[in-house]
Amino acid sequence: MNILLKSAKIIDPNSKFNNEIMDIYIKEGKIDQISKSINYKDKSNAKNSDIEFTAKNLHISPGWFDLHANFGEPGFEHNETLDTGCNAAIKGGFTGVMLMPNNIPSIDNRSMIDFILNKTSNLIVDVLPAGNITQNSIGDSIVEMHDMSEGGCKAFTDDKNSLMRNDVMKVAMLYSIDCNALIMNYPNDESLSKNGVMHEGTTSTRLGLKGIPYMAEEMMVDRDINLLKYTNSRLHLSYISTKDSVKKIKIAKKKGLTITADVALHNLFLTENHINNFDTRYKVLPPLREKEDINALIKALKDNTIDVISSDHTPISDEHKKVEFDNALNGIIGLESAFGLLCKHIAPKIGLSLLIEKISINPRKILQLPQESINIGNKANITLFDPEKEWEFTVDDIKSKSLNTPFIGTKMRGKALGIINKGILKVN
């Protein structure tokens, strides 16, 4: 399949055609030509299977990559499978995802890395499994990092099971140096957040719900930065949610430490006040915070203190969501609605180009993956989108097996039109 994209505005700081409207001809999965006007039918090697794609206000960028996605399989196929998760990614415009190791059995050995890579090898979406830091994600014994790295594992994390033991975290960071792997940690001191179900503040007090204080995150940020300083390794802090965490990360970067961070997209515009009616669809971890935290997070995106915006796509069945708030599981599905929400709430504040960097270029840079810029000769890993298209998010837009989202019926701005990867065009 050869593909011709007509009159597409290129959003890619690594492309010599950045911000230009061009025709792009893709031949056998690679960018063959970029020009003001191309007619593939005039080419001597044109095939009947060639596809010409055009759309109003068509924009393209390097394929978006989600740094935090949960697909369930193996172990939680009733929430999501690898196939349905990738369908959700395609609908949202993502050509690649990193899977969090929240599975049964745990992704704590090379055979599990092999299982996921083999099962997803023929899918259009690039699926990269993160490995657990510790066996069974318990926090005690470190996995065989070298073996898993040789099998293709680029990052290690226990995800929302924050690694509590200082000695284990130190050794993991030291081991990661030899295998050139990234350590990712969600900063959450469980001794301070235990049994908490939302942000600790006036709203939690009024609702009679146990809160999760700022310091549960911030004390762990301090711990991880100190260990990073000691080990001189690479550290990525996941799901940053507080203004003081931002300050600490900014100082660490100024000191030259190799530290990066991300924020979940819902933490950029939703606050604790959305929980006023005990709506479990807004129950997430880290919890929705206050407006001043959102302002600090937006500023941190603009000055590159925070490097990545993730969807934190977390499918959960109704039986674990439509229950009392205390008992409901944390999480929102996010892949399908991500871009519409980001263009509506975030792009006006940080600009479209920077937004694309946060969801495309930076995730791959952090994971040391190839950067497929939109230049002649490069592999075509591309997202097609309209950043201004207004539409309503409905159940029909959800390709996930789960429906745990508060955004059904929400007016969106900006929509993914399709993706190109592995020589295939998939149009939404």
E-only strand ranges, 149-287: 155-156, 182-185, 198-199, 211-212, 235-237, 259-264
CB of 321 within 8 A of CB of 328? yes
CB of 96 within 8 A of CB of 66? yes
* CB-CB neighbours of 267 under 10 Å: 23
Q: What one-letter code names the amino acid at 189?
A: D
CB of 344 within 8 A of CB of 335? no
CB of 85 within 8 A of CB of 71? yes
Burial class, 317, CB count within 10 angstroms (exposed 0-12 / middle 13-18 / buried 19+): middle
Question: 413 forms bridges with which residues in the sheet?
Answer: 390
Query: Rounded to an integer, what distance in angstroms lies between the CA atom of residue 338 and that of residue 359?
Result: 10
Burial class, 114, CB count within 10 angstroms (exposed 0-12 / middle 13-18 / buried 19+): middle
DSSP state of 361: I
Catalytic residues: 312
- Kindly state the helix (H) or strand (E) to which residue 421 belongs, with its residue range: strand 411-421
Query: Rounded to an integer, what distance in angstroms lies between the CA atom of residue 265 and that of residue 82?
Result: 22
Q: Which residues contact 167 (CB under 8 A, 6 or more apart)?
A: none
* CB-CB neighbours of 178 under 10 Å: 11
